[in-house]
A and B are shown apart, each in its own frame.
Chain A
């Protein structure tokens, strides 16, 4: 990689400095460790019977695969049924288009104030920023999102956006930004925030929410939440705009039940959330509440590109429970912000390279020890470690069989020096004689990482080469070691 390249990309989202900063921050380390330990315990307690869990995962994976296998058809059915129900459906190729669609609706309605339920897709397209640039206020109503917005930050977790902050930090923040009395009483802080938000709901012109499952058969938008802010966002303002990625569609209502059960238990260990909203239409004649208009914005943003590849397609099974990050030893150490992208953790590492391009997200796929904890807990059995390896291959264009894969940024991480090292490694290791002569990989390992042996010995003693290799020791015994 040239210096220019590294400087240009480094200026925007340098991965290593972010990581180092997070790791050196004891507050971040402690907050995430404590929170992730708690979430892992809760998930475990929510699945007392492993058999049931594994069967449910099989079922959920099959449901998601079935939906993806006929995604174009289901999206058309979804659109037709929503339209028949009176919901307006919009298609956006990318985040900018989606922002423009939402802005257009806002402007048609003369909207000055938008209240938002939690939506990661809206984070992905930086909707708040976009609306504010056009003098429309966007206020987050999910408690975690509200805190993050007060702090002028981004979510550090897809389910719990403010999980990087402890109670004291939240108390200080609310005190400084809203004048709330400092307190360690979570109930009190929550009640204060609710009060502050409640007033804003009344004034909001438009509500924007995400979608957990979009049911094609019935034209129903399902929204899972705990705080009631999703219900308010989608019912109080006169206009509701739901925004979601195109992969969130499922075929029918029966499909929702197992997915919902897995989603809430995998995410927070809850058997059911406090609210589960099913939105099928705007307010009908004679109904007392609900929005007069409902819109759905379906966002692609690189998703259909993933769809072309049988293996990478599995990325789109995701139901956004966050269990992969809760169980990730890397995420636990560095937190969500260090990744530098909307979706952190294991799912971010396999999704962001498609959304942002591998040239941009080049450090993500390698930032994993491939321990497999993510794949083990994924409720829809996404083979995350396998996809990480695939993306590492894409990054260096290391498999000639995938040369036409179409992955954005394929080969962008390939360097002549690393390619040469692996070629010489292969040369030495495909011949037993050459390997034995060279005492193998030790030599190559040093050549591979000439400036990185320091990275190993910074916190470890250097491994010592044995006086004689296993090859030599077996041969010296003189039985079954020479010939096979």
Chain B
């Protein structure tokens, strides 16, 4: 994290940027995120023209293309409301890399303006909404995997566990080498499949060894990677996005 972040008071409205992975593969996580924000009395605006933050092209080195796509996203948040994303990775892209990507470009000021308003969902729920959760679910044992972007780029390693800690019937267990990458890394997982496989296999074994029923994460890339490998390895634990999990725990009877 580049600097200490001061959090604003809870706003009346926010923009929600769902991210392309959530959009296509895990829309329930996006809906849960929106509902958690609405539960805090916030009006959630979902610009229908949103697509992708541009990160896949950016980390693949195609910065001209990343910039084109990112520039289109920059126009979607005209009012001075926070922009909330259910992903540390995409939030990191917008907050940390948009200003760099647009240095010397006509959109530079706008990119900085938007970047300063970007929050990862759990960060926003905890530090801006000061959310209070009441657990209505059955006792369950979970492990948390915080994405490397959320942990290192956004400095949010403590946030997910703190939110889970509010849930009385949830036992949070810690897997070995908890801070180690799961091996997703976007295109890395298919460009260097041997290394990625070695990393995700170790991650699955570590989580499985805790005896957790579920693996909770705030990033869908990690989830797709870890749960995909866990299924392949015929492990029992399931994966769930933290937004879906929090929403479900607060509404189960």
Within the complex, the shortest CB–CB distance from B32 to chain A, in Å, comes to 11
Within the complex, the shortest CB–CB distance from A283 to chain B, in Å, comes to 50
Residue of A nearest to B22 (CB): A470
Within the complex, the shortest CB–CB distance from B193 to chain A, in Å, comes to 4
Interface of A is mostly: helix
Inter-chain contact B228/A375, CB cutoff 8 Å: no
> Does B64 reach chain A (CB closer than 8 Å)?
yes
Partner of A371, one of B25, B34, B152: B152
> Does B30 reach chain A (CB closer than 8 Å)?
yes
Partner of B27, one of A367, A440, A457, A469: A469
Inter-chain contact B65/A433, CB cutoff 8 Å: no
| Complex Cα–Cα for A419 and B65 (A) | 9
Inter-chain contact A442/B24, CB cutoff 8 Å: yes
Given A329-B181, A369-B188, A371-B185; A466-B26 close (CB under 8 Å): yes
Contacts of B248 in A (CB 8 A): none
Inter-chain contact A373/B152, CB cutoff 8 Å: yes
B: number of interface residues (CB 8 Å): 78
Contacts of B233 in A (CB 8 A): 459
Contacts of B87 in A (CB 8 A): none
Residue of B nearest to A441 (CB): B20
Inter-chain contact B194/A398, CB cutoff 8 Å: no
Contacts of A458 in B (CB 8 A): 193, 197
Within the complex, the shortest CB–CB distance from B14 to chain A, in Å, comes to 10
Within the complex, the shortest CB–CB distance from A88 to chain B, in Å, comes to 44
Residue of A nearest to B81 (CB): A484
A: number of interface residues (CB 8 Å): 76
Given A330-B195, A470-B27; A459-B229 close (CB under 8 Å): yes
Within the complex, the shortest CB–CB distance from A55 to chain B, in Å, comes to 15
Q: Which residues of B contact A (CB under 8 A)?
A: 15, 18, 20, 22-28, 30-31, 34, 43-52, 54, 56-66, 68-69, 71-72, 76-78, 100, 104, 148-149, 151-153, 179-181, 183-201, 224-225, 228-229, 231-233
When A and B form their complex, which 4 residue pairs have the shortest distance between CB atoms, in order from nearest?
A432-B49, A369-B185, A460-B228, A392-B61
- Since A334-B198, A458-B193 are in contact, a sample of 20 more A-B pairs with Cβ atoms closer than 8 Å, ordered by chain A residue number, is A329-B199, A330-B192, A333-B195, A367-B195, A369-B185, A369-B199, A373-B152, A398-B64, A430-B72, A431-B51, A435-B51, A441-B52, A442-B24, A449-B190, A452-B193, A459-B201, A460-B224, A461-B228, A466-B28, A484-B48
* Between-chain CB contacts (< 8 Å), 9 pairs: A20-B194, A368-B188, A369-B185, A370-B59, A389-B61, A398-B64, A465-B25, A469-B24, A470-B22
